[in-house]
């Protein structure tokens, strides 16, 4: 018999109450006639019509459990990327997979590393698994390989790196990812989160698939929530070494993806023309938005993703908080990023032409009024 001390009610295990629950981007602007939601990095193009149709067909099968192995979806992903479907695990969003990896590899007190302005789900996943989050400084809002390597201790078990990163929009060239991997001990799992990989247009970038396939300690996660426009369905996937895949499959729910998710995801990944249209749209409007906002005298962190980080002076009348309220009152919803350690910045998703124009018009008016005041 265990001699655990008695408590008057169930007590969460250590770490759980240290978690600050994830706060998603706002979705409404009370009082605004027309709302442009640029707060969650969703695609303005929506999903492929083929994905919508595939989901519709699933409506006739709602009484049946879905395929617990998401076979159709894993095969569609494998075909698209030239992979072995056995090396793929699907998740209810890539968030779920990021958590599974922490549960699998962190024992109580083990350390998980992520960077200063890294995606907040990493912290939640590490704490929820009983691990200790180790936050590594960035350099110029970009992950710093040397700082990550310097933070590794015998207790380090996992390193999460979003490439490109949210909310900064910056990235590490593949040579730097290789250098990071080369410096990590073999028992540390490197998780390359490629949620925005499809948007990147630079030649020195790779989401890291080749590194996954040639190593025993690298996993890449991807999502259908961004470029594929299926955020509401919650679909993510990961590819990794057979041993990692096996371990994750042991702890995931037996039917962790719905039938609708499996069908729509498989149709979406096969619609390469739809993805190409989203890439082209983003390329045009990312450049346009970055340029126009810079011309207003605001600093924009150069982004390779489908959003930009805009920096504001920490001065009354000109601050990020005031800009956020001003934009919201005009129906433009953007993301405050104080919880990411960036209280003076706003993250703005590249939206439809109409939404981008509305954002720039409202921001221009804000800047003019703040100068006059």
First vs last C-alpha separation in the chain? 71
Is 89 or 292 the residue whose CB approaches ligand PLP more closely?
89
Quote the CA–CA distance of 124 and 317 in Å, as a whole number: 34
CB 241 within 8 A of CB 191: no
Q: What's the min distance (Å) between Cβ of 338 and ligand PLP? A: 17
Instruction: Please list every residue from 154 through 193 that binds ligand PLP, using CB under 6 A.
Output: 162, 166, 193
Map residue 301 onto helix, strand or coil. strand
Query: Rounded to an integer, what distance in angstroms lies between the CA atom of residue 269 and that of residue 140?
Result: 34
Instruction: Specify the stretch interacting with ligand PLP by CB under 6 A; choose among 10-18, 26-34, 91-99, 273-281.
Output: 91-99
> Per this entry, what is the length of the chain?
373
**How far apart are alpha carbons 306 and 41 in whole angstroms?**
6
Q: Shortest distance, CB of residue 303 to ligand PLP, whole angstroms?
A: 13
Binds ligand PLP (CB under 6 A): choice among 236, 265, 331, 351: 236
Q: Does 112 bind ligand PLP (CB under 6 A)?
A: no
Q: In this complex, which beta carbon is closest to ligand PLP, that of residue 77 or of residue 292?
A: 77
Cβ count within 10 A of residue 308: 25
Residue 119 touching ligand PLP (CB under 6 A): yes
Does 223 participate in binding ligand PLP (rule CB under 6 A)?
yes
Q: Does 48 bind ligand PLP (CB under 6 A)?
A: no
The binder of ligand PLP chosen from 83, 89, 95, 348 (CB under 6 A): 95
Q: In sequence order, what are the residues at sequence separation of 6 or more whose Cβ sits closer than 8 angstroms to the Cβ of residue 45?
A: 229, 274, 277, 278, 281
One-character DSSP codes across 4-49: PPP-SS--PPTTGGGPPPP-PPP---TT-SS-EE-SS---TT-S-H
Does residue 225 bind ligand PLP (CB under 6 A)?
yes
Instruction: Identify which range of 92-100, 241-249, 288-296, 350-358 contacts ligand PLP by CB under 6 A.
Output: 92-100
Under the criterion CB under 6 A, does residue 256 sit at the interface with ligand PLP?
Answer: no
**Chain residues in the site for ligand PLP (CB under 6 A):** 41, 93-95, 119, 162, 166, 193, 195, 223, 225, 231, 236
């Amino acid at each position: 018999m265990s001699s655990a001390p008695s408590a008057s009610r169930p007590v969460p295990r250590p770490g759980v109450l240290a978690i600050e629950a994830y706060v998603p981007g706002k979705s409404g602007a009370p009082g605004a006639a027309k709302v442009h939601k640029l707060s969650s990095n969703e695609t303005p193009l929506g999903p492929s019509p083929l994905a919508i149709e595939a989901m519709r067909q699933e409506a006739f099968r709602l009484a049946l459990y879905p395929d617990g192995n998401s076979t159709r979806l894993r095969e569609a992903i494998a075909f698209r990327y030239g992979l072995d479907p056995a090396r793929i695990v699907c998740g209810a969003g890539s968030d779920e997979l990021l958590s599974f990896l922490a549960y699998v590899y962190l024992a109580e007190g083990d350390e998980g590393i992520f960077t200063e302005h890294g995606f907040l789900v990493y912290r939640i996943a590490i704490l929820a698994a009983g691990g200790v989050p180790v936050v590594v400084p960035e350099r110029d809002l970009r992950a710093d390989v040397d700082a990550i390597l310097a933070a590794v201790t015998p207790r380090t078990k996992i390193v999460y790196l979003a490439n490109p990163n949210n909310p900064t929009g910056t990235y590490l060239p593949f040579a730097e990812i290789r250098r990071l991997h080369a410096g990590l001990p073999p028992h540390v799992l490197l998780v390359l989160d490629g949620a925005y990989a499809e948007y990147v247009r630079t030649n020195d970038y790779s989401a890291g698939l080749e590194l996954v396939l040639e190593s025993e300690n690298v996993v890449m996660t991807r999502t259908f929530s961004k470029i594929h426009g299926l955020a509401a369905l919650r679909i993510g996937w990961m590819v990794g070494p057979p041993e990692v895949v096996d371990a994750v499959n042991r702890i995931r729910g037996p039917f962790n993806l719905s039938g609708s998710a499996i069908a729509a995801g498989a149709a979406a990944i096969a619609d390469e023309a739809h993805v190409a249209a989203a890439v082209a749209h983003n390329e045009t409007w990312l450049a346009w938005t970055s340029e126009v906002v810079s011309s207003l005298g605001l600093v924009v962190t150069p982004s390779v993703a489908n959003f930009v980080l805009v920096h504001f002076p920490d001065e009354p009348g000109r601050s990020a908080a005031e800009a956020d309220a001003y934009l919201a009152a005009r129906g433009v919803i953007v993301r405050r990023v104080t919880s990411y350690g960036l209280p003076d910045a706003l993250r703005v998703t590249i939206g439809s032409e109409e939404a981008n124009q509305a954002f720039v018009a409202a921001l221009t008016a804000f800047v003019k009024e703040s100068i006059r005041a």
